[in-house]
Structure 1
Amino acid sequence: MKEPWRMGRGVWAMVVAVTMFMRGVRGGVSDYQPGWSFNGAEHDALCDVFQASLDLWNASRKSNLKLGGGLENALGQAIFGSTSGGNIEGLKDTLPQEYKNPERRQYRCGSCNHHKETYPGKSIPHDLMCLCTPGKYGEPFYGYWFFQLVFEDTGFKLCGKERKDMVNNHHDGWYEDEKKREARGLEKPWKTVVMGCVNSWKKNGGAVNQTLEEKLKTLIEAMTNFGTELFKDGNRWDKLGGMKEHHTESDGRDEKSIHVRYRLCQKKKKPWWRKLQEVLGKPQIQLLVDPSAVTHAKEPGQDLEEGEEILEEPGERNMDSGGGTSSQAGSSTQGGSDGNATQTQGFNNGSNSTVGMTNTSASENSTSTRFGMLRSGTPITPPTSRFLSAVFFI
């Protein structure tokens, strides 16, 4: 009688072991609710900023007012990945060359301490690719059993998109896992996510009835909402997407590692969103100007772009010592077309540190009055009359 009992106990032990084993190798499928969408809110916030940027850029090409105060450069970086800007019609469904062999996702999406031209925060399209390209074995769209011998559709979404629009099969994905690296099938996330956002904007025709001032306000609101999606990881680096409780690399090895992390992204590799935050903190009268003012300020604008790196070095050093960059900004100023300015709430993502968008440093005081007026809404006090009198007496 003991032998059957032993066999029965052995069978039950095997069933329990296999069940635990299958749950363990299934890629964490059972950890999420059916239909779970990874990075959905982050994608929506980023797409809103993208469309508002496209709308303002496009409208400014046809408006009597032009973009000033560094806004043109900041939008060029955000949309095209370059302060020199580009052509919206150049954004096409065809996968750009830089994603045909994107190399290591961990660095392209998670760190700026390298010499490659593609880095986290380079542009909105690039951050969308980091946020929304599936990872190893097409995760999170596939779960697997028995040492990756059997795969199944999880029914999950990534950036609000379904599996059929994002991968061909479980061989697609961009990831690195120790020495194993792969980048396959990136055409689908580019077309579905990046161009999906662009084409949706084109289809809707933008905010056709809005003035340039109203489009600027829409961008500020979109940026404010985007700021709420940024958070600090365990090392105090700004991060977009992924899990707040998981401090993983941005390498795509599993569903927790599909995100953007702005590690050491400063100075020349300052993220597009930080540049845009700083510019949008200026008074509207500096951001929307008449063509004669743009022509007059053309050369100083070029100097300003170079000088910004020097003027902001003290702030960059402060961020270095804190172990990360900030994801907040101070209050911004919004004014009407008549030039009367009113204070509006600045960007806030809920973190403890802030970036004052209108702050000035000691080094700024040593620069020309022209630079000071461009970088801040604070009036510049002219030399005293007593000093001028002394000059005339001489």
Structure 2
Amino acid sequence: MMMFWMVVLLVIGVGAENHNEETHNVLCSLLKVSENEWTKVKTRESSDPLKRALHQTIFGYGSRAEAVEKLKSTLPESYKGMESGYSSRNFFCGQPRQESGYHNINQDRWAGHSAPHDMVCLCTVGHRGWPLNETDVSSIGKLCGKTKDDLGASTNEGWSDIKDGQGGEKQITATWFNVTSDCLHGSSRAGGLKQALNDFTNKLVQKWHNVYKDMYRLGVGNVSEYGACRGTPAMGVCTNYYPNNTDTQTWWQDLEQAIQEDEKIQAQQQRDEEERRKQQGEVEKQDTSKTENLENLKSATTITSHTQQKNHDSNLTDTTRKFNMKSGTPIILPSSWFFIAIWFV
């Protein structure tokens, strides 16, 4: 009996797969580093490129929120009411953003809206709980490091384009609090923000489209003429980016540009600081030289004054001595005369 259970455990361990493991890891790492950097730059001017890009990365385009703690603990309004509203996964994760929306439906979120949203696309189970709905127990693995129970798919429900694009709120909520929120705890790493972003972009799969040109997919999925990342076995659990599309805003593309701009700004500030210190050093050097010259002048003046006084006293003594020698009468009376004068009085 013991041998039987060992064999079963081995089979389960070999067959189980952690879907989107690597892509989740690089996105999560980037989000953590972004949150850590946000705490450093959020007091900068609103026009600062890195501050603006990090805000978009964490909170999304058009958001005025700045509290990460609230973001971690609150499901965004865009994901609420999906059981009765339009919630097509392709609309949220696979289609390019359209400024006017699709068929008069406002597109609040799209692939590239923010890192947390892309995490929802990457780590929420799809149609009937796919890819965690295998009937073979040995094949049921994890998605983004979480089990089907963690992701609200214990009854094999999920988020897709099925049911006329309705449903998925339960699974999205589970993903938000069990996956996305965990990645909003800031941390630093070797190489910093630039390296974290580079690791992320290296996981993007580039595709060519006749209309949209370069497209980039994150996660396991497929792309057709009509969409991508629908949450089905054929289209996948993923997010598809259209950075060349006129209306589409893509957080990682803007972050990449902002990092380059910030490097230039920091380099210029460093040059300005070095120049300021150089000028300050020259001023201090001049002040020191002036002080030394003034001290030398004072010292020379004091020596000259003492010399002149000494010469004056010497001349006066010499003059008095010569006068006494000529007149035979001392200018200063002897002290005995003074006592005689007092006695007569």
8 Å CA contact 1:113, 1:265 repeated in 2: no
Aligned residue number for residue 89 of structure 2: 105
What is the SS of the residue equivalent to 2:223?
A: coil
Q: 1:155 pairs with 140, 143, 152, which one?
A: 140
Aligned partner letter, 2:219:
G
8 Å CA contact 2:17, 2:139 repeated in 1: no
Aligned: 1:338 with 2:318: no
8 Å CA contact 2:88, 2:165 repeated in 1: no
Aligned residue number for residue 28 of structure 2: 47
State the distance in 1 between where 2:141 and 2:147 align: 7
Aligned residue number for residue 354 of structure 1: none
State the distance in 1 between where 2:14 and 2:33 align: 33
Aligned partner letter, 2:140:
G
Aligned residue number for residue 182 of structure 1: 167
State the distance in 1 between where 2:174 and 2:89 align: 17
Alignment size in residue pairs:
241
Aligned partner letter, 2:215:
W
Aligned residue number for residue 223 of structure 2: 247
State the distance in 2 between where 1:256 and 1:161 align: 21
Structure 2: where are the runs of 5+ without partners? Answer: 1-12, 102-106, 273-345
State the distance in 2 between where 1:99 and 1:79 align: 16
Aligned residue number for residue 195 of structure 1: 181
Structure 1: where are the runs of 5+ without partners? Answer: 1-31, 145-150, 289-334, 341-394
Q: From the superposition, tell whether residues 255 and 36 of structure 1 become closer, same or farther in structure 2 (CA, over 3 Å).
A: farther
8 Å CA contact 2:97, 2:248 repeated in 1: no
Aligned residue number for residue 14 of structure 1: none
Q: From the superposition, tell whether residues 195 and 153 of structure 1 become closer, same or farther in structure 2 (CA, over 3 Å).
A: farther
What is the Cα deviation at residue 50 of structure 1?
Answer: 0.6
State the distance in 2 between where 1:222 and 1:67 align: 24
Aligned residue number for residue 233 of structure 1: 207
What is the Cα deviation at residue 112 of structure 1?
Answer: 2.1
Aligned residue number for residue 271 of structure 1: 250
8 Å CA contact 1:42, 1:240 repeated in 2: yes
What is the Cα deviation at residue 268 of structure 1?
Answer: 4.6
Q: 1:259 pairs with 238, 246, 253, which one?
A: 238
Aligned residue number for residue 74 of structure 1: 53
What is the SS of the residue equivalent to 2:150?
A: helix
State the distance in 1 between where 2:219 and 2:108 align: 22
Aligned partner letter, 2:51:
E
Aligned partner letter, 1:176:
D
Q: From the superposition, tell whether residues 264 and 283 of structure 1 become closer, same or farther in structure 2 (CA, over 3 Å).
A: closer
What is the Cα deviation at residue 106 of structure 1?
Answer: 0.6
What is the Cα deviation at residue 264 of structure 1?
Answer: 6.7
Aligned residue number for residue 219 of structure 1: 193
State the distance in 2 between where 1:67 and 1:221 align: 25
**TM-score, normalised with respect to structure 1:** 0.54
State the distance in 2 between where 1:282 and 1:94 align: 33
Aligned residue number for residue 76 of structure 2: 96
What is the Cα deviation at residue 81 of structure 1?
Answer: 0.4
8 Å CA contact 1:60, 1:67 repeated in 2: no
Q: From the superposition, tell whether residues 110 and 155 of structure 1 become closer, same or farther in structure 2 (CA, over 3 Å).
A: same
8 Å CA contact 2:41, 2:51 repeated in 1: no
What is the SS of the residue equivalent to 1:91?
A: helix
Q: From the superposition, tell whether residues 265 and 218 of structure 1 become closer, same or farther in structure 2 (CA, over 3 Å).
A: same
Q: Which has the higher helix share?
A: 2
Percent identity, please: 24
What is the Cα deviation at residue 53 of structure 1?
Answer: 0.8
What is the SS of the residue equivalent to 1:239?
A: strand
What is the Cα deviation at residue 220 of structure 1?
Answer: 0.5
What is the Cα deviation at residue 181 of structure 1?
Answer: 4.5
8 Å CA contact 2:49, 2:261 repeated in 1: no
State the distance in 2 between where 1:78 and 1:259 align: 18
What is the Cα deviation at residue 56 of structure 1?
Answer: 0.7
What is the SS of the residue equivalent to 1:220?
A: helix
What is the Cα deviation at residue 39 of structure 1?
Answer: 1.0
State the distance in 1 between where 2:94 and 2:161 align: 12
Q: From the superposition, tell whether residues 167 and 255 of structure 1 become closer, same or farther in structure 2 (CA, over 3 Å).
A: farther
Q: Note the aligned Cα RMSD (angstroms).
A: 3.1
